[in-house]
C-alpha cells in the first residue's frame, strides 16, 4: 500500500469537506446576529419597514442554513472511516465537547429556529425577538464546542495518555475548555463570521443601490451591517493578535512558516508583504525573500509582547540554537523514538505478563512521553509545515482583514452623512468583497490547519499515523463523490439565493 | 396538555403550509439527508473500529498495534 498517497487523499478529502462546510458556517454566525439587531430595531421602533428588512435577510439566512445543514456531519463519517486511529485516540477528549455541542447548542438552535420562521404573528413580538436572539446565540455556541476540540489539537492539554487503552483521557474538562489556544481560536473564528455576515449584507445592499431599487431598505441594512462589521473587524484584529501570540508560544514552527522566517533573531521585524525565495532549504544561507517590506521589531513585540524577544526561525527549530536554548529537532526525534520503543516494549511485556519489564518500560515512556509524536518522523526537517502555502495564506488573510476594516469604515461614514447612494465605486467594491470574505475565511483555515502539519495532534500524533489502513482507491472514489455532491449543493445555494435576491425586500 | 400539543402541532403544520422558498429547501434537505445518511454512511463510510471489532479492548489493541508498528 502506498501510504503517502493514502494520507494525501485522506487529507484532501477532509480539507475539501471542511472548506465546503466553512462556506456556509461563517454566514450563519454573522447573519444571525445582524438579523437579531434588525429585529430589535423593529420591536423598539414598531416601524414595519424594519420588519420587512428583517424578514428579507432572514430568508437568505434560512437558505444558507438549510443548504449548509449537516455538511459538517460528513467530517464525523470521515473520522470513523479514514481517521479511525485518530478518532479512537482522541475519543475521550472530543466526546464531551461534541456531545455538549449536539445536545445544547444544536437543539437550542433548532427549537427556536421554527419560532423564528413560523412564529411571525403567532407569538408575541418579544417572544419572537427572543427566539431570533437564541438562534444567534445557539449558532455561536455550536462553534464554541467545535473550536474547543480543534484548539486541543493545536495545543493538547488537560489530558494523559493511557497506555492500556491507547487513548488520551481527559483529566480536566476546564483545562480543555479554557485552553488559551481554543479561547483565542473561538473568538477569532466567530468574529471572522461576523465580518463575513456584514460583508454579505453590505455587498447585496450595494447591488440594490447600483440597480437603484429598494434603496431605502438597502441603506438601512448597510447602516446596521457596517456598524456591526466595523466593530467586528476591530475585534477580529485584536483576537487575531492574541491568536498569533498563542501560536508564537505554543506552535513556533507554525509562526516561523507564517512569517517565512528561517534565521531567527531578537528584535525581529514582521513581513508586511514579500515574495519567498523558491527552493530555499533549511540552513542553506540563501535569503528568505526575493523582496519584502518589513515592519521593524513588530514580530518580537506581537509574538512575545517584548520588543527584545528572540523569535526562532525554521533553521533554529530544526538545527537547534544553543545560545537561545533551543533543542535540535534531531534530539527530539531520538527521544521520540525512545518513547515509541518503550511503549512497544510495555505492550510486549504486558502480553507475556512480565510485570517488572512492563513497569520499567512504562517509567521510560513517561520520561519521554512528550516527545512521542517526534518518534514517528523520519527527518528533522519533517517538523516544518508547507512554508509557501502557510505564508501566502496568512498574508492574504491579514491583507483582506485590513481591507474589510477600511471598507466598513467608509460604508458607515458615507451612510451617516447620507452620501452612500452617490458612491458607486464603494458600492462596487462592497459587492466584490463578498467573495473576498469567503476567501479570507478559507485561507484562515489553511493557516490554522496546514500550518499545524505534520501534526494531527501537535507534537503527539503525526497525520500519517492518524489515518486508517484503507486502500487509496476507496478514498479517491469518495473524494470525487464529495467534490460532485458539495459542488451541486453550492450551485443550488447560489441559484436559490440569487432568485430570492432578485425578488427584493418587497417580496419578503 | 393535550391542547398545548395540538397548538404546537398546528403551529408547525401551518408554518410548513405557508412556506414559499422553504418547500424547495426541504426537498433539497430530504435528498441531501438520503445521500448522506443512506448512501454515503452505509456504503462508503463504515465506522471501521465499530464494524471490525466487538469490544473496546480489541479496538484498543488494534490501535496500539497501529501506532507502535
Interface of A with B (CB under 8 A): 59, 62-63, 66-67, 69-70, 73-74, 77-78, 80-81, 84-85, 87-89, 114, 117-119, 122, 164-167, 340, 343-344, 347, 461, 465, 468-470, 474, 477-478, 481, 485, 489, 492, 496, 500
CA distance B13 to chain A (A): 10
The SS3 assignment for A455 reads strand
Tell whether omega for the bond before A33 is within 30 degrees of 0, i.e. cis: no
Could you tell me if A415 and A224 are in contact, meaning their C-beta atoms sit under 8 angstroms apart?
Answer: no
Instruction: Determine how β-strand A289-295 pairs with β-strand A310-311.
Output: unpaired
Distance CA A93, CA A96 (A): 6
CA distance B3 to chain A (A): 16
Whether residues A344 and B15 touch (CB distance < 8 A) is answered with no
Distance CA A130, CA A456 (A): 40
Tell whether omega for the bond before A454 is within 30 degrees of 0, i.e. cis: yes
Could you tell me if A475 and A10 are in contact, meaning their C-beta atoms sit under 8 angstroms apart?
Answer: yes
Whether residues B59 and A88 touch (CB distance < 8 A) is answered with yes
Q: A202, exposed or middle or buried, with CB in 10 Å at 0-12, 13-18, 19+? A: buried
pLDDT, residue A410, reads 97
pLDDT, residue B35, reads 83
Q: Select the more confidently predicted residue: B23 or A385.
A: A385
Whether residues A477 and B50 touch (CB distance < 8 A) is answered with no
Q: What is the DSSP letter of A380?
A: G
Distance CA A38, CA A61 (A): 13
Distance CA A137, CA A423 (A): 35
Q: A355, exposed or middle or buried, with CB in 10 Å at 0-12, 13-18, 19+? A: exposed
Please name the member of B12, B44, B64 whose beta carbon is closest to the beta carbon of A166. Answer: B64
Whether residues A81 and B33 touch (CB distance < 8 A) is answered with no
For the CA atoms of A410, A416, A421, A427, what is the dihedral angle to 10 degrees?
A: 20
Q: Give the Cβ contact number of residue A3 at 10 Å.
A: 12
Q: Give the Cβ contact number of residue A279 at 10 Å.
A: 7
- Give kind and range of the element (H or E) at residue A274: strand A270-276
Please name the member of B18, B21, B68 whose beta carbon is closest to the beta carbon of A347. Answer: B68
Task: List per-residue pLDDT tens for chain A, 508 residues long.
Answer: 457 888 899 999 999 989 989 999 999 999 999 999 999 999 999 999 999 999 999 999 988 888 887 788 888 888 888 898 999 999 888 887 878 877 776 677 767 888 898 888 888 999 999 999 999 998 888 888 889 989 999 999 999 999 999 999 999 989 999 999 999 999 999 999 999 999 999 999 999 999 999 999 999 999 999 999 999 999 999 999 999 999 999 999 999 999 999 999 999 999 999 999 998 999 898 899 999 999 999 999 999 999 999 999 999 999 999 999 999 999 999 999 999 999 999 999 988 989 999 999 999 999 999 999 999 999 999 999 999 999 999 999 999 999 999 999 999 999 999 999 999 999 999 999 999 999 999 999 999 999 999 999 999 999 999 888 888 888 888 888 888 888 888 888 888 889 989 988 876 6
Please name the member of A62, A73, A80 whose beta carbon is closest to the beta carbon of B36. Answer: A73
Those of residues 8-37 in B touching chain A at CB distance below 8 A are 11-12, 14-16, 18, 21-22, 24-26, 28-29, 32-33, 35-36
Interface predicted TM-score (ipTM): 0.83
Distance CA B67, CA A429 (A): 51
CA distance B2 to chain A (A): 19
Distance CA A116, CA A112 (A): 6
Could you tell me which of A439, A454, A455, A453 has the C-alpha nearest to residue A395?
A439
Q: What is the DSSP letter of A454?
A: T
Contact residues on chain B for A351, CB-CB shorter than 8 A: none
- Note the residue count of chain A: 508
Distance CA A228, CA A194 (A): 8
The SS3 assignment for A382 reads helix
Whether residues A481 and B68 touch (CB distance < 8 A) is answered with no
Report CA-CA distances (Å) from A461 to A227, A332, A448, A449, A456: 43, 14, 17, 14, 6
- Give kind and range of the element (H or E) at residue A486: helix A472-503
Please name the member of A87, A465, A481 whose beta carbon is closest to the beta carbon of B67. Answer: A465
- Contact of B6 with chain A, judged by CB distance below 8 Å, is answered with no
- Contact of B58 with chain A, judged by CB distance below 8 Å, is answered with no
Q: Select the more confidently predicted residue: A251 or B69.
A: A251
Q: How sure is the predictor about B1, in pLDDT bands with cuts at 50, 70 and 90?
A: confident
Distance CA A345, CA A357 (A): 8
Instruction: Determine how β-strand A270-276 pairs with β-strand A289-295.
Output: antiparallel
pLDDT, residue A1, reads 43
Q: A290, exposed or middle or buried, with CB in 10 Å at 0-12, 13-18, 19+? A: exposed
Helices (H), A329-471: 329-351, 355-368, 387-416, 424-450, 463-466
Whether residues B45 and A78 touch (CB distance < 8 A) is answered with yes
pTM of the model: 0.92
Could you tell me if A319 and A383 are in contact, meaning their C-beta atoms sit under 8 angstroms apart?
Answer: no
- Give kind and range of the element (H or E) at residue A273: strand A270-276
Could you tell me which of A317, A253, A270, A263 has the C-alpha nearest to residue A286?
A263
Contact residues on chain A for B63, CB-CB shorter than 8 A: 84-85, 88-89, 166
The SS3 assignment for A261 reads coil
Contact residues on chain A for B24, CB-CB shorter than 8 A: 496
Q: What is the DSSP letter of A213?
A: -
Contact residues on chain B for A119, CB-CB shorter than 8 A: 11, 15
pLDDT, residue A196, reads 97
Q: Give the Cβ contact number of residue A502 at 10 Å.
A: 10
pLDDT, residue A507, reads 62
CA distance B47 to chain A (A): 4
pLDDT, residue A508, reads 60
Could you tell me if A25 and A193 are in contact, meaning their C-beta atoms sit under 8 angstroms apart?
Answer: yes
pLDDT, residue A469, reads 82
Distance CA A460, CA A263 (A): 26
Helix axis angle for A107-118 and A125-154, nearest 10°, is 150
CA distance B5 to chain A (A): 15
CA distance A119 to chain B (A): 8
Amino acid at each position: 500500500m502506498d501510504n503517502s498517497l493514502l494520507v494525501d487523499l485522506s487529507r484532501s478529502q477532509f480539507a475539501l469537506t471542511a472548506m465546503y462546510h466553512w462556506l456556509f458556517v461563517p454566514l450563519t454566525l454573522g447573519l444571525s446576529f445582524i438579523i437579531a439587531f434588525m429585529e430589535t430595531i423593529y420591536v423598539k421602533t414598531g416601524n414595519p419597514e424594519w420588519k420587512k428588512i428583517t424578514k428579507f435577510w432572514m430568508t437568505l439566512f434560512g437558505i444558507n442554513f438549510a443548504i449548509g445543514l449537516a455538511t459538517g456531519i460528513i467530517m464525523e463519517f470521515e473520522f470513523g472511516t479514514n481517521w479511525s486511529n485518530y478518532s479512537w485516540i482522541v475519543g475521550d477528549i472530543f466526546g464531551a465537547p461534541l456531545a455538549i455541542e449536539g445536545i445544547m447548542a444544536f437543539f437550542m438552535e433548532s427549537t427556536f429556529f421554527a419560532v423564528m420562521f413560523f412564529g411571525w404573528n403567532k407569538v408575541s413580538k418579544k417572544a419572537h425577538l427572543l427566539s431570533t436572539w437564541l438562534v444567534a446565540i445557539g449558532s455561536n455556541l455550536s462553534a464554541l464546542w467545535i473550536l474547543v476540540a480543534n484548539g486541543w489539537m493545536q495545543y493538547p492539554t488537560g489530558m494523559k495518555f493511557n497506555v492500556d487503552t491507547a487513548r488520551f483521557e481527559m483529566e480536566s474538562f476546564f483545562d480543555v475548555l479554557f485552553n488559551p489556544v481554543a479561547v483565542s481560536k473561538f473568538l477569532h473564528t466567530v468574529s471572522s463570521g461576523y465580518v463575513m455576515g456584514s460583508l454579505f449584507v453590505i455587498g447585496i445592499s450595494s447591488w440594490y443601490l447600483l440597480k437603484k431599487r429598494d434603496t431605502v431598505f438597502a441603506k438601512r441594512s448597510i447602516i446596521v451591517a457596517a456598524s456591526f462589521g466595523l466593530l467586528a473587524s476591530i475585534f477580529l484584529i485584536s483576537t487575531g493578535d492574541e491568536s498569533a501570540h498563542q501560536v508564537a508560544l505554543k506552535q513556533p514552527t507554525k509562526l516561523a512558516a507564517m512569517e517565512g522566517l528561517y534565521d531567527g533573531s531578537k528584535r525581529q521585524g514582521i513581513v508586511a508583504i514579500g515574495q519567498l525565495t523558491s527552493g530555499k532549504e533549511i540552513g542553506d544561507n540563501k535569503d528568505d525573500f526575493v523582496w519584502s517590506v518589513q515592519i521593524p521589531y513588530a514580530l518580537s513585540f506581537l509574538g512575545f509582547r517584548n520588543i527584545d524577544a528572540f523569535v526562532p526561525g525554521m533553521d533554529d527549530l530544526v538545527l537547534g540554537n544553543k545560545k537561545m536554548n533551543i533543542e535540535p529537532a534531531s534530539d527530539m526525534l531520538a527521544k521520540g523514538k525512545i518513547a515509541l520503543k518503550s511503549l512497544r516494549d510495555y505492550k510486549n511485556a504486558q502480553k507475556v505478563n512480565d510485570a517488572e519489564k512492563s513497569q520499567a518500560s512504562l517509567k521510560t515512556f513517561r520520561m519521554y512521553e512528550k516527545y512521542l509524536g517526534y518518534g514517528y518522523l523520519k527527518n528533522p526537517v519533517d517538523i516544518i509545515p508547507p512554508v509557501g502555502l502557510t505564508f501566502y495564506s496568512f498574508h492574504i488573510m491579514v491583507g483582506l482583514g485590513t481591507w474589510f476594516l477600511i471598507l466598513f469604515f467608509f460604508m458607515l461614514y458615507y451612510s451617516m452623512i447620507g452620501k452612500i447612494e452617490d458612491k458607486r465605486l464603494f458600492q462596487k467594491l462592497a459587492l466584490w468583497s463578498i467573495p473576498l470574505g469567503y476567501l479570507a475565511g478559507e485561507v484562515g483555515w489553511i493557516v490554522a490547519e496546514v500550518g499545524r502539519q505534520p501534526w494531527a495532534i501537535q507534537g503527539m500524533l503525526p497525520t500519517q499515523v492518524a489515518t486508517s489502513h484503507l486502500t487509496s482507491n476507496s478514498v479517491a472514489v469518495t473524494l470525487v463523490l464529495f467534490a460532485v455532491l458539495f459542488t451541486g449543493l453550492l450551485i443550488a445555494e447560489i441559484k436559490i439565493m440569487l432568485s430570492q435576491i432578485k425578488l427584493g425586500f418587497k417580496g419578503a | 396538555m393535550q391542547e398545548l400539543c395540538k397548538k404546537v402541532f398546528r403551529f408547525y403544520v401551518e408554518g410548513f403550509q405557508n412556506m414559499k422558498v422553504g418547500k424547495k429547501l426541504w426537498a433539497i434537505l430530504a435528498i441531501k439527508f438520503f445521500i448522506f445518511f443512506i448512501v454515503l454512511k452505509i456504503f462508503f463510510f463504515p465506522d471501521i473500529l465499530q464494524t471490525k471489532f466487538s469490544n473496546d479492548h480489541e479496538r484498543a489493541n488494534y490501535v496500539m498495534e497501529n501506532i507502535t508498528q
